Structure 1
Amino acid sequence: MFNDHQNQQQEFEVGNFMLEEINFDPFHQPTQQFQETITTWPKNHNHKLSSIPTKPLQNNISLSSLEILRNHGTRFMKNITNTKKTSLDNEQEKVSAEGIIRVAGTRYAQKYSSHWNDGFSIPTHPYGFDQWNFSEEENKDVELSQFLFAAAEKVSFQQFERAKKLLFYCQWNSSATGNSVQRIVFHFSQALLERIEKETRRFTKGSLKNEESELLRKMDLNKSLLCHIKIPFNQVMQFIGIQAIVEHVVYDTRIHLIDLDIKSGVQCIALMQALIERQDFMVEIFKVTAVGLNSCKNKIEETGKNLASFAESLKLPFLYKCVLVEDMMEIKEVDFEIEENEAVAVYSPYFLRSLISRQDCMENLMRVLRYIKPSIMIILEMEASHNSPSFVNRFMEALFFYSAFFDVVETCMKEEDDCRMMTEAILSAGIRNIVGAEGRERNVRNVKIDVWRRFFARYRMVESGFSEACVYQGELVAKEFVYGKFCNVEKNGKCLILGWKGTPMHSISAWRFL
C-alpha cells in the first residue's frame, strides 16, 4: 500500500536470524489516486465523509504492504461467504469491526492495483463488497477507516501537515466511547499524532499524558483480575499451560515455578488447586519465584501476600520469593536459589517480546534459564507481526490485529463496563508503542511462533508439545463462556494457536533445553 520513506534498516536482527522486508521500487509512480481532505476542521460532528471537498494525490505503494492487505481482505471475504451460507434467517448479520477495517484496507488497495502486473492483484470477491449490503453506519465506518489508511500513508512520506488534517478529521468522527470501529480509529489516530509530535518535536501540552495512561496507573490487582476473567483467551491459555506443567511434575514433590511476569498471580492459583488435588506424591513444598523490576516491587509483593494466604487456606506448603532488579541484565543464576531435587518450571506470559529490542537482556536471560534447565518452559505470546522495520507494514499489521481484539472486547464486555475501558486502555498503550515509537522506546515487538522457533533453536531448545488432555482442557474452558464458540484452538506443529472467529491471536508453546 505505502512505501516507507524513512531512513530505517531493511532488516532487524534478533540473534542470528533476520526479519526481512520486501521493498517496492520507490521511483515507480502509481496511476490511481486517493482523495485527501484539505479543508478546515468540520463544524458539524455528523458531517458526511463524502461531502468533504478533496483533491487528488499520488503516492507510492509497497509490494509487501499490498500483500498484507490482500491476505487480510481475502480472509474477510471467506468469512462473510461462510456466514451467508450458514445463516439461519434472512436478517443481515452485523459486520465486525475487524471486517470493516479489512474491507476499508482492501478497497483502498484496489484503487492502486491496476499498475501491478498480472502476477499480483487484489482478489475480488465474486459478489463484490457492495453485495454485502452494508448499512449506512457501516459504510461511514469503512470510509472513516480509509481516511485512517490515508493518514498513515502521509506519515510514512513525512507529509505531517497533510497527515494531521486527516487525523483531526478522524478524531472528530471517532471517540474512545463510540462503536468499535470509531474506538479503533480514535486510538490509532492518537498514536499517529504522537508519532508526528516525536518526529517534529512539536509536543502538544498534555498530549502524551492521556486518560488511558492515568487509567492504567490506577489499575489494581483486583481490577486486573476482574478484566482477566472476562476474556476467554486468558483462561483458555492459562489452563492449557497449567495442565502441561502438572503433567511434567506429576512425580515430583518439590516444585519450583519461576514466573517472569506474575501480575495478579492467577496462574499460580490454578496450579495450586491442581497440585492439592493429587492423590499420590503429595507436595512437600511449592515455591514461586516472581521476576520483575524494582519499579513493580509493591505489586509483586502484594501478589505474594495474596498467594500465601490462598496457599494457607489450601494447607499447601508454600514459599514465595521476589527477584527484583533495575534491569534484566542483572539477572543471575544464583538469584533463583535452585535446590537439589526440585522440579523447576518456567512460566513466561507475554514477557519475552519486551526483550526483542534489547538483545543483550534476552541473551542474558536465556543463558540463565539454560543453566537452570527447567523441566518445562511455557511461553505465551501474541501471534502477530509487529516487529517490521517498515512503519507502514507495522501499522497495517497492528491495525488488523487490534481490530480483531476490539471485537473480542466488544463481544465479551458490556459497553459501559469499567473492564472494557481498562482493557482498551491496555490495548491503546500497545497501539501507541507499536505505531508511535521507534528504537529502544518501541518495546512491544510481537512476532509469530515461527520466528520464536528460529530463535530458541540457537539455545538448543526443543518443543515439548501438548497432550490431548491439555487441548481438551482449553476447549472445555472456552465452552464455559457465552461467546466461547468464537474462540478456536488450532495446532501449529507442537504449538497451539488461539484465534477469534478464525483470526490467529495468541500462541502458547512448551519448551525444554537439551
Structure 2
Amino acid sequence: MENAILSLEGSYSEVEEKSSSANKSSESVDGGKTWKQTPFYCSDGLGPSAGVDFLCSEDEVLYQDERELQDQTLLGYAAFDELKFDGLSPSTQNCQEEITKLGEIVQNGNLDSEYKKGKRSEDLHLASLELLRRFGNGFRHFESGRIVESTYDAPPYTAVESRGFSTEEIMGIAGAKFIQSASQSVDVSSMFDNPFDLSLAGLSHEDAKMVELSEFLLASAEKVSCEQFDSARRLLKHCEECSSDVGNPVERVVYYFSEALRERIEIKSGRVTSNDLKKNQSVHIYDTMKTSKQSFDMDTAMMRPNPAILECQRVMPFCQISHFAGIQAIVENVAEAKRIHIIDLVIRNGAQWAILMQALASRFGCPLELLKITAIGTTSKHLIEDTGRWLKSFAQTMNIPFSFKIVMVSDLLDLKENLLEIDVEEKIAVYSSYLPRKLIAMPNRLDSMMKMIRNINPCIMVVTEVEANHNAPSFVRRFVDLLFYYSAYFDCLDACMERDDPNRMITESMYFGEGIRNSVASEGEERIIRSVKLDVWRAFFARFGMVETDLSSSSLYQAKLIVKKFNFASSFTLDVDGKSLLYGWKGTPLHSLSTWNFT
C-alpha cells in the first residue's frame, strides 16, 4: 500500500459543519532521516469533494527522533483504589493541609524546566517558588517523552506577556501566600485589613491584584469545606465584586468558581436542594445583541454542530489531535480488512468518521466491502439519526459501502453484544471519546459495558479522555485540582480568542462554567461531571485483561503536524506517557489519547 498524507490545510470545522466543499492545498514539512515505513493520513477540508494529495513516497515519510517516541516510566502512580470511581461522601478537611499534600509525590524533585529557565525579570519569593514546584508535581506537569518542545518562556499573546505570569502561576503564588497566612492564623477580617504586599516577588500591580483575588478564592473554599458559611460568604462577596466573566483569565476563573462555591453553600446550608438547582439550572447564552438564559444539557449540546464549539476546535488543536491520531491508529489496525465494524460509544457529531472514510478511500489493493458504524445511545436518538444521515451522504460522495446502525438502550446494563449484530468476518474497533461523565459515578454500568467490549474482542479500542483528577472524594483536593485544570484552559482560550468573542463567552459559560458548577457544588449521584487520569484508567482497564498498545510513530506525527498548523503552536505541548499521548497547554496535560486491545 502506498503511503499518503492528506493535506492538513483548510478549515477543520467544515467537516463538523457538514459543508460540501473545501479548498485543497498541501503543507511541506522539513524532514531529516527516514521514519519507519508506516502509512499515515491527515485531513484536508474534509468536504465531500476533498481528495488525497500524495506528498511523499515510502522512502520520504517524515522523521521523528526515536528517542522522543520511547515509552516512559511514570514517576508517580495515582492509586486507583484511592478514587474507586464512587466519589460519594467527601470529607471536610482543612484546605491548607490538602494544598500541601498535593506536592508530596515528589520530595526531592527539581523545579519544572519552565520555572528553572528564569527568563522573567521578577524573582519569585522562596515560599511561592516552593509551592509552584509542589503544585507542578502535584497536578503533574508533563514529565515524560516530549514530542513538541515548548518555548513557554515567550508567550505569544501580548496580554499574557504584560501580566507576567500565567493563571496557573498566579494560583500557585496565591496558594503559597494562603498557606503562610493560614500558618499564622490570619482570620477573615485580617485578610480584608491587610492588602497584598507588592514587594512579594517583585510582582506588578496587576499580578498582585490577581494573586490577592485568588487567595480570597482559596480561603473561601477552605471556609466552605469547614462549613463556616458566614465567613465564606464574606470572602465570596469580595471575589464576586472583583471578578468578571469578561475580564482576564484569573478574573474569569474566580468568577465561575465563586458561583459554584456559593451554590455549594446554598445546598449545604439547606436553603435549596440539589433537585431545586437542577430544575432551575440555567446558563448565560451570549449573542451579538443580548444575554438570555435557557436550560442546558452538556452531553446533548455536544451532539449538535454548535458554532461556539466549532470555533474553539478551529483555534485549538485538542479535538483534531484526538480525531486524526486516533483514526490513524484504527486505520493501521484494519489495514487489510475488507469488512470493518466501528462501535462508537459516544458518537456526538461523527466528524472523525469522515476522516476514516477518506483514509479508507485512499487504500490500494484492498477493496472495502463494507464500513459499518454502530452508535450506542441512551438519549437523543433524533440527534444520532441526524449524524447517521450525514455520514451516509458523506460515504456516498466517497464511494464507500456504508451501513449505520443505532443501538438505543434505556439503561447501559441492558447493552449486550447480541444487539451489535457482529459478523465473524468483520474487523471490530471500539471508539470511546469522553465517555458519558455519569458512568464514573455508576461503576456497575461501566463494568457492564467493559465486559461487553471484552466479549466482542475488538482489534483495537481508542480512548480519548480528560487528563485530570476531578473525582477525589475530598472536596478541597478536588477543588484545587479543578482550579489548576481550568486555569490552564482559560489561559489557552485567552491566547487563542479575543476576550469579547461571543463564542469564547458561550464556551466558558455553558461548558466550562457548568463543569465547574457541577464538580464543586454537587456531591453523590448529582455530581455527574467527573474525570480521572490516565493512570486510573490503566488500572481499571487491567481488570478486564486490556493491554495498552503503542501509538505508532505515524499517529504521533499526526499530532505534531496538527499542532504546527495552529497559532501559538509553541505553547501547545505533546508528551508520550507510557505508550499513550498527553496533550495540553504550556506543560499542563489537559487530554489523553490511548489505544488498547485484549490479551
Shorter-chain-normalised TM-score: which range?
0.7 to 0.9
Structure 1 equivalent of residue 40 of structure 2: none
Letter in 2 for 1:189: S
2:377 and 2:491 map into 1 onto residues whose CA distance is 31
1:208 and 2:277 correspond: no
2:249 and 2:389 map into 1 onto residues whose CA distance is 38
Structure 2 equivalent of residue 359 of structure 1: 443
Residue 88 of structure 1, CA deviation: 7.7
1:144 and 2:199 correspond: no
CA contact 1:462–1:512 (8 Å) conserved in 2: yes
1:158 and 2:227 correspond: yes
Q: 1:65 aligns with which of 94, 99, 111?
A: 99
Residue 70 of structure 1, CA deviation: 7.8
- Specify whether residues 88 and 374 from structure 1 end up closer, same or farther in structure 2 by C-alpha distance, changes over 3 A only: closer
2:99 and 2:457 map into 1 onto residues whose CA distance is 41
- Specify whether residues 168 and 280 from structure 1 end up closer, same or farther in structure 2 by C-alpha distance, changes over 3 A only: farther
2:110 and 2:421 map into 1 onto residues whose CA distance is 49
Letter in 2 for 1:413: M
- Specify whether residues 423 and 210 from structure 1 end up closer, same or farther in structure 2 by C-alpha distance, changes over 3 A only: closer
SS in structure 2 opposite 1:201? coil
1:107 and 1:277 map into 2 onto residues whose CA distance is 58
2:462 and 2:269 map into 1 onto residues whose CA distance is 42
- Specify whether residues 131 and 192 from structure 1 end up closer, same or farther in structure 2 by C-alpha distance, changes over 3 A only: closer
2:105 and 2:255 map into 1 onto residues whose CA distance is 24
Structure 2 matches for 1:219-368, cutoff 5 A?
A: 220-223=304-307, 224-294=309-379, 296-351=380-435, 353-368=437-452
CA contact 2:342–2:431 (8 Å) conserved in 1: yes
| Residue ranges of structure 1 left out of the alignment (5+ in a row) | 1-9, 27-59, 116-127
Residue 468 of structure 1, CA deviation: 0.9
1:82 and 1:208 map into 2 onto residues whose CA distance is 45
2:421 and 2:511 map into 1 onto residues whose CA distance is 34
Structure 2 matches for 1:82-481, cutoff 5 A?
A: 82=117, 84=119, 94-112=164-182, 133-203=202-272, 208-211=281-284, 214=294, 216=296, 220-223=304-307, 224-294=309-379, 296-351=380-435, 353-424=437-508, 425-481=510-566
1:280 and 1:497 map into 2 onto residues whose CA distance is 35
1:76 and 1:413 map into 2 onto residues whose CA distance is 30
Letter in 1 for 2:283: N
1:331 and 1:402 map into 2 onto residues whose CA distance is 34
CA contact 1:260–1:291 (8 Å) conserved in 2: yes
Letter in 1 for 2:354: I
Residue 222 of structure 1, CA deviation: 4.6
1:422 and 1:466 map into 2 onto residues whose CA distance is 34
For residues 367-390 of structure 1, the C-alpha deviation after alignment (integer angstroms, 9 at most, x for no partner) is 110111111001111111111110
Structure 1 equivalent of residue 50 of structure 2: none
CA contact 1:97–1:181 (8 Å) conserved in 2: yes
Residue 314 of structure 1, CA deviation: 1.2
Residue 200 of structure 1, CA deviation: 2.0
1:170 and 1:12 map into 2 onto residues whose CA distance is 31
Letter in 2 for 1:493: G
| Residue ranges of structure 2 left out of the alignment (5+ in a row) | 1-80, 121-150, 156-160, 186-196, 286-292
Residue 416 of structure 1, CA deviation: 2.5
For residues 351-378 of structure 1, the C-alpha deviation after alignment (integer angstroms, 9 at most, x for no partner) is 1653111011011101110111111001
SS in structure 1 opposite 2:375? strand
- Specify whether residues 70 and 165 from structure 1 end up closer, same or farther in structure 2 by C-alpha distance, changes over 3 A only: farther
Residue 497 of structure 1, CA deviation: 1.2
Structure 2 equivalent of residue 123 of structure 1: none
For residues 447-475 of structure 1, the C-alpha deviation after alignment (integer angstroms, 9 at most, x for no partner) is 11111111111101101111111111110
1:88 and 1:171 map into 2 onto residues whose CA distance is 31
2:163 and 2:560 map into 1 onto residues whose CA distance is 26
SS in structure 2 opposite 1:308? helix
1:107 and 1:383 map into 2 onto residues whose CA distance is 28
Letter in 1 for 2:569: G
1:306 and 1:413 map into 2 onto residues whose CA distance is 30
SS in structure 2 opposite 1:356? helix
User: More displaced, 339-348 or 80-89?
Assistant: 80-89
CA contact 1:382–1:506 (8 Å) conserved in 2: yes
- Specify whether residues 508 and 252 from structure 1 end up closer, same or farther in structure 2 by C-alpha distance, changes over 3 A only: same
1:76 and 1:237 map into 2 onto residues whose CA distance is 30
Letter in 2 for 1:96: S
CA contact 2:431–2:463 (8 Å) conserved in 1: yes
CA contact 2:318–2:583 (8 Å) conserved in 1: yes
CA contact 2:198–2:204 (8 Å) conserved in 1: no
Residue 138 of structure 1, CA deviation: 1.9
Of structures 1 and 2, the one scoring higher in RCO (CA 8 A, sep 6+) is: 2
- Specify whether residues 83 and 244 from structure 1 end up closer, same or farther in structure 2 by C-alpha distance, changes over 3 A only: farther
SS in structure 2 opposite 1:289? strand
2:200 and 2:96 map into 1 onto residues whose CA distance is 29
1:468 and 1:338 map into 2 onto residues whose CA distance is 31
Residue 325 of structure 1, CA deviation: 2.0
1:76 and 1:197 map into 2 onto residues whose CA distance is 40
1:290 and 1:161 map into 2 onto residues whose CA distance is 49
CA contact 2:315–2:567 (8 Å) conserved in 1: no
Letter in 1 for 2:362: E
SS in structure 2 opposite 1:469? helix
- Specify whether residues 161 and 240 from structure 1 end up closer, same or farther in structure 2 by C-alpha distance, changes over 3 A only: same
Residue 64 of structure 1, CA deviation: 4.0
Residue 506 of structure 1, CA deviation: 1.3
1:100 and 1:163 map into 2 onto residues whose CA distance is 21
CA contact 2:284–2:506 (8 Å) conserved in 1: no
Residue 114 of structure 1, CA deviation: 7.9
Residue 252 of structure 1, CA deviation: 0.4
1:304 and 1:185 map into 2 onto residues whose CA distance is 41
SS in structure 1 opposite 2:482? helix
Aligned residues: 454
